[in-house]
């Protein structure tokens, strides 16, 4: 990727800063230098800012901070709408879907990652975390393939070194690795790819798949390594009521208590879903500033339940958005997922429970807080120049009185343009350097081969 240059974005209809006051500026401009925001304001930009800069016309659109997705499984883009699991809850759905991955290669994962990232970028995402844990023997360097996909698209990527070291009925032994193999690979990826500096495009975190498929030794060692090196630590927890029963029978404690026993009790830990927490557990999470990746669509799709977003936030827990894997979403529209969060919060807590800006916060400041990225999440001087620019008026929002509310309340739009680290990646609704049609054709053909191999 080239060195970020100077950038001036002019003609922003509404600049949704997501600063502490949640200022929304009308008729704004924003300047960036070296990938970070250097100035912004309203009215005509100072002429000297255009000299030597790339000037990007926002077309009167709505600019938000680049959206942050905190839970996904990119590989599952190749198992969307998979017939055997389309009307099933989590565990039987998973058992069907998991059979597909035996022939999956690192190159398949590269293409799946690129498609998942492209889809999220077109819907406003500039930073994405993926939880990849299926590593078939002989499949190649899965995680390097994912970093390559993100680099090709110029998007910020937080890569889980996901893992499973316990055989289960849900997946074959071909997907299981030993804890030593896993931790050795964690150290390699940490050494080769992790960049903790402000403006980072590459980070690594540890992510055993779940307490059902990771040994206690692996959970304990993952927590120890993450804490010692300041890396993120992630897993699935409290997604279904069946998980409570399983945990009580097998471990004698509830799922969160089991993670706590394994040392998962510090800031930097976040769990996907977090639906079935008790009041005591919500307080415990809040006291430790532990995060929850809220995945509203997948929770509805699998009939898992409704995350207690409001209660978790009031307790002090970090809540951010996750589209979840593309086999339980079955897509990855990040702005659309914020809309789902908005609606589901109102189902649970009433019409006044969440505003459009509250929902946008889940995908911006909430995501930055959860990933411990102080350089992301809002449009302020010194922060990364990551902007999602949506058309202010389109077919779905024509007639709207409040354009910012309309972004969530009207149907979900794609971006008009996307800027990551001061670089324009999407303009006029199209990638500047990606043949999306060719990517879709390659991806779909690979997926069909995988379906046919079963």
Q: Alpha helices, DSSP H only, in 127-240?
A: 142-153, 179-193, 216-229
d(CA 150, CA 74): 12
Per rule CB under 5 A, count of chain residues that contact Zn ion? 2
Among 1-9, 268-276, 278-286, 419-427, which window interacts with Zn ion (CB under 5 A)? 268-276
Nearer to Zn ion by C-beta: 155 or 272?
272
Among 38-46, 95-103, 271-279, 360-368, which window interacts with Zn ion (CB under 5 A)? 271-279
Nearer to Zn ion by C-beta: 327 or 408?
327
d(CA 95, CA 88): 10
Specify the 3-state DSSP secondary structure of 96: helix
CB 403 within 8 A of CB 15: no
Minimum gap (Å) between residue 31 Cβ and Zn ion: 38
Name the E strands within 43-124.
54-57, 62-65, 67-69
Minimum gap (Å) between residue 323 Cβ and Zn ion: 10
d(CA 383, CA 379): 7
Region 67-126 residues binding Zn ion, contact defined as CB under 5 A: none
Minimum gap (Å) between residue 56 Cβ and Zn ion: 35
Among 17-25, 100-108, 267-275, 418-426, which window interacts with Zn ion (CB under 5 A)? 267-275
Among 13-21, 22-30, 153-161, 265-273, which window interacts with Zn ion (CB under 5 A)? 265-273
Specify the 3-state DSSP secondary structure of 2: coil
Nearer to Zn ion by C-beta: 200 or 329?
329
Peptide bond into 175 cis (omega under 30): no
- CA 370: distance to chain centroid? 11
Nearer to Zn ion by C-beta: 324 or 369?
324
Question: 63: which strand partners?
Answer: 15, 389
Question: 309: which strand partners?
Answer: none
Nearer to Zn ion by C-beta: 237 or 272?
272
Minimum gap (Å) between residue 240 Cβ and Zn ion: 12
Q: State which H helix or E strand residue 420 sits in.
A: strand 417-420
Minimum gap (Å) between residue 408 Cβ and Zn ion: 23
Nearer to Zn ion by C-beta: 113 or 378?
113
Nearer to Zn ion by C-beta: 272 or 426?
272
Neighbours of 44 (CB within 10 A): 10
Question: 130: which strand partners?
Answer: 159
Minimum gap (Å) between residue 104 Cβ and Zn ion: 17
Region 281-340 residues binding Zn ion, contact defined as CB under 5 A: 324
Q: Which residues bind Zn ion (CB under 5 A)?
A: 272, 324
């Amino acid at each position: 990727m080239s060195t970020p240059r100077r950038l001036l974005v002019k003609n922003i209809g509404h600049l949704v800063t997501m600063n502490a006051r949640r200022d929304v500026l009308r008729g704004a401009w924003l300047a960036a230098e070296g990938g970070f925001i250097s100035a912004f304001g309203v009215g005509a930009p100072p002429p000297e800012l255009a000299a030597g800069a790339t000037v990007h016309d926002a077309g009167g659109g709505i600019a938000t901070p680049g959206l942050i997705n905190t839970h996904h499984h990119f590989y599952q883009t190749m198992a969307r709408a998979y017939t055997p699991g389309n009307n099933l809850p989590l565990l039987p759905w998973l058992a069907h879907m998991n059979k597909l991955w035996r022939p999956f290669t690192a190159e398949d994962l590269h293409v799946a990652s690129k498609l998942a990232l492209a889809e999220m970028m077109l819907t406003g995402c500039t930073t994405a975390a993926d939880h990849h844990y299926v590593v078939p023997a002989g499949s190649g360097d899965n995680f390097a393939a994912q970093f390559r996909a993100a680099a090709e698209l110029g998007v910020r990527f937080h890569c889980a070194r996901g893992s499973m070291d316990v055989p289960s009925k849900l997946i074959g032994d071909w997907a299981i690795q030993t804890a030593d193999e896993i931790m050795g690979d964690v150290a390699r990826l940490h050494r080769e790819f992790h960049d903790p500096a402000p403006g980072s495009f590459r980070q690594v975190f540890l992510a055993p798949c779940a307490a059902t498929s990771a040994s206690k030794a692996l959970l304990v060692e993952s927590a120890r390594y993450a804490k010692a090196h300041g890396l993120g630590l992630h897993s699935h927890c409290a997604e279904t009521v069946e998980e409570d029963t399983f945990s009580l029978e097998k471990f004698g404690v509830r799922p969160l208590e089991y993670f706590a026993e394994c040392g998962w009790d510090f800031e930097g830990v976040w769990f996907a879903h977090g639906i079935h927490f008790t009041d005591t557990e919500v307080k415990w999470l809040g006291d430790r500033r532990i995060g929850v990746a809220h995945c509203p669509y997948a929770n509805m799709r699998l009939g898992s339940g409704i995350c207690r977003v409001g209660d978790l936030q009031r307790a002090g827990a970090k809540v951010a958005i996750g589209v979840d894997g593309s086999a339980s979403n079955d897509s990855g529209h990040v702005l659309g997922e914020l809309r789902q969060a908005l609606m589901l919060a109102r189902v649970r807590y009433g019409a006044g429970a969440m505003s459009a800006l509250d929902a946008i916060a889940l995908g911006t400041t909430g995501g930055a807080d959860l990933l411990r990225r102080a350089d992301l999440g809002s449009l302020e001087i010194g922060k990364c120049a990551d902007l999602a620019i949506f058309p202010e008026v389109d077919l779905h929002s024509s007639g709207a009185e409040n354009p910012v509310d309309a972004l969530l309340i009207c149907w979900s739009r794609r971006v008009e343009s996307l800027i990551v680290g001061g670089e324009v990646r999407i303009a006029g609704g199209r990638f500047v350097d990606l043949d999306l049609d060719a990517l879709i054709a390659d991806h779909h053909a690979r997926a069909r081969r995988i379906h046919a191999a079963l």
